[in-house]
Amino acid sequence: MSPLAGAAAARLEILLSQYELPASVGVAATALLELWATDPLASTTVTDPLDAVDRHLADSWAALEFPEVRGALTIADLGSGAGVPGLPLAIALPQAQVALVESVGRRTVFMETAIAACGVEDRVRPVITRAETWTEGIGVHDLVTARALAALDVVLEYAAPLLKVGGSVVAWKGAIDEQERAAGGRAAGILGLELREERRVTPFEGARAHRLILATKVAETPERFPRREGVARRKPIGTPHF
């Protein structure tokens, strides 16, 4: 594995220090950055390592500010795509078992390569399915993550059945209007979740309108969830007339 070039390596070192991550995380992160840059199967347009340090690693690791993330033992990353934020979190959290949930099968070929390159085959695995149909995952996770996946109420509906009571979901969002925020609140109440925090973050210089939304499962999710595949998007539960 060739060393990471100057500016990207320096930026990575700053992040490792900022989040108090050991050198071993830097080694795995370097392998991941090189794969994003060179592997044609990586489903990302962010291929320059310096950009990827910011837009993939820094953006993912911003969630480490939450104790609920730092302490998670079982994580499901929904719509994982190029492995973000699931793989960056996995290499930063050596105690965690991580499922990279992705419905597009060809993307998991890259995930398998990346998991091996990062040396986390013993605790990270791709899962080719949709969140709504993943019965194996119901009720077993401390943490569910989702970056730019769907509207907030839809993300919460995907996540809630997969969480243990006391577990949390973190949604990476950009700008969010009052209508989406209100819909998320209504959905949370239906699903046994409680919205705990909406945190503005600036994971890298120039980042705009980045938010992390944290919700915790405070009661069992009603048995009618998950609904059938695709229903959460077609008939979102956060709409006033649900």
| Residue pair 159/78 in contact by the 8 Å Cβ criterion | yes
Average of per-residue pLDDT across 227-235? 95
Question: d(Cα 69, Cα 96) in Å, to the nearest integer?
Answer: 10
- 166 in a domain, yes or no? yes
Start-to-end CA distance of the chain, whole Å, equals 53
Q: What is the pLDDT of residues 110-164, one digit of tens each?
A: 999 999 999 999 999 999 999 999 999 999 999 999 998 999 999 999 999 999 9
pLDDT band per the 50, 70, 90 thresholds, residue 241: low
Please tell me the predicted confidence (pLDDT) of residue 198.
Answer: 97
- 206 in a domain, yes or no? yes
- 135 in a domain, yes or no? yes
Measured N-to-C along each axis, helices 23-38 and 107-118 cross at an angle, to the nearest 10 degrees, of 150
| Residue pair 175/162 in contact by the 8 Å Cβ criterion | no
Q: What is the CATH number of the domain that holds 145?
A: 3.40.50.150
Please tell me the predicted confidence (pLDDT) of residue 1.
Answer: 39
Handedness of CA 14, 125, 74, 60 (dihedral sign): positive
- 12 in a domain, yes or no? no
pLDDT band per the 50, 70, 90 thresholds, residue 50: very high
- 210 in a domain, yes or no? yes
- 107 in a domain, yes or no? yes
Average of per-residue pLDDT across 38-48? 93
Q: What is the pLDDT of residues 65-85, one digit of tens each?
A: 999 999 999 999 999 999 999
> What is the SS3 assignment for 221?
coil
| Domain range enclosing 122 | 68-234
Number of domains in the chain: 1
- 63 in a domain, yes or no? no
Q: Which residues, 6 or more positions from 1, have their beta carbon under 8 angstroms from its beta carbon?
A: 30, 31, 34
Summary mean pLDDT of the chain = 95
CA neighbor of 111 nearest in space, from 42, 58, 65: 42
